Structure 1
Amino acid sequence: MRIGELSRRTGVHERLLRYYEQQGLLRPLRRSSGYREYEEDDVTVVGRIRSLLAAGLNTATIATVLPCLQKDEPRLVPSCPSLVADLHRERERITAAITDLQASRAMLDTVIAAAPKEFAAQNFLDVIEATPSPRTARSGKG
């Protein structure tokens, strides 16, 4: 199938499919005319790419995950034991990002709560300066 059909079947824009190819996530065959030729399995691969992206993985990590997934089911093949450790590290990275975002949200809540109906710019700056940044608080720097 050509790229337009893969796009229609997956709901993924053609430009994004080309990007997946550039990142090594898709490997379509090339016709003599230069057109990309996708296989039926690529519909499943695109779905997996979308799911892994939604899980917070970057394309470089996804490129290492895809070959480790069994063709017909979302299980890891036995030949990829180190992948689980890599995924645990990704999970830790995402957890740290969530912690930072939650601290940022709490800081914004403090700023919003301190804002009077007739908001004064100086009060805003005082609250911001008095509230430690999530990154500063975590790193111990001030």
Structure 2
Amino acid sequence: MMRIGAAAATTGLTPRALRHYEEEGLLRPRRAPSGHREYGEADLRRLRVIRGLLDAGLTVADVRSLAHVLDEESARFSFGIRREEPEGCAVGEVSLHRLAELDARIEELTALRERLASRIAERFGAVFDTRPYAPGRAA
């Protein structure tokens, strides 16, 4: 068992993030008689899964909707391994919804970029290179 600072350091998170995940219902660390949070190996595994899902683009609300299948003990599948979804799990639905939102944002940003490039070209002509940035190309 370890306290919040050690658990945060081990998982690459901050103590504030761990407290936030607890407030959001994603994590339930044990409490010592003194009231300090104590984290075990199962908590650390869960934190790594939460972090991975958030880094992949899911929101805290998305992860909360999947909370009942985050632990290896309660899930019949592991993220990254193709298996059947546990009954009542919305992994596919949540993921497809998030992907659709990202696609919509990409479309909006692409249209915004095109409008800006067009206005720059109209106003300044060839003074500015408005082609999309490409690594290795002189800015």
TM-score, normalised via structure 1 length: 0.70
CA change 1:69–1:33 in 2 (3 A) is closer
Aligned length: 118
> Per residue, is there more helix in 1 or in 2?
1
Question: CA–CA distance in 2 between the matches of 1:49 and 1:81?
Answer: 16
What SS does the corresponding residue of 1:61 show, helix, strand or coil? helix
- Asked whether 1:113 is paired with 2:114, we answer no
Question: CA–CA distance in 2 between the matches of 1:111 and 1:42?
Answer: 52
CA change 1:77–1:40 in 2 (3 A) is farther
Question: CA–CA distance in 2 between the matches of 1:4 and 1:50?
Answer: 16
Are the aligned partners of 1:70 and 1:77 in contact in 2 as well (CA < 8 Å)? Answer: no
Are the aligned partners of 2:85 and 2:91 in contact in 1 as well (CA < 8 Å)? Answer: no
State the Cα distance separating 1:108 from its structure 2 match.
Answer: 2.7
| One-letter code aligned to 2:16 | R
1:32 is matched with 33
State the Cα distance separating 1:78 from its structure 2 match.
Answer: 2.2
2:65 is matched with 64
Are the aligned partners of 2:66 and 2:90 in contact in 1 as well (CA < 8 Å)? Answer: no
Larger radius of gyration: 1
- Give the RMSD, CA atoms, in angstroms: 2.4
What SS does the corresponding residue of 1:33 show, helix, strand or coil? coil
- Asked whether 1:16 is paired with 2:24, we answer no
CA change 1:69–1:32 in 2 (3 A) is closer
State the Cα distance separating 1:50 from its structure 2 match.
Answer: 1.6
| 1:91-130 pair list within 5 angstroms | 91-116=99-124
1:79 is matched with 87
TM-score, normalised via structure 2 length: 0.71
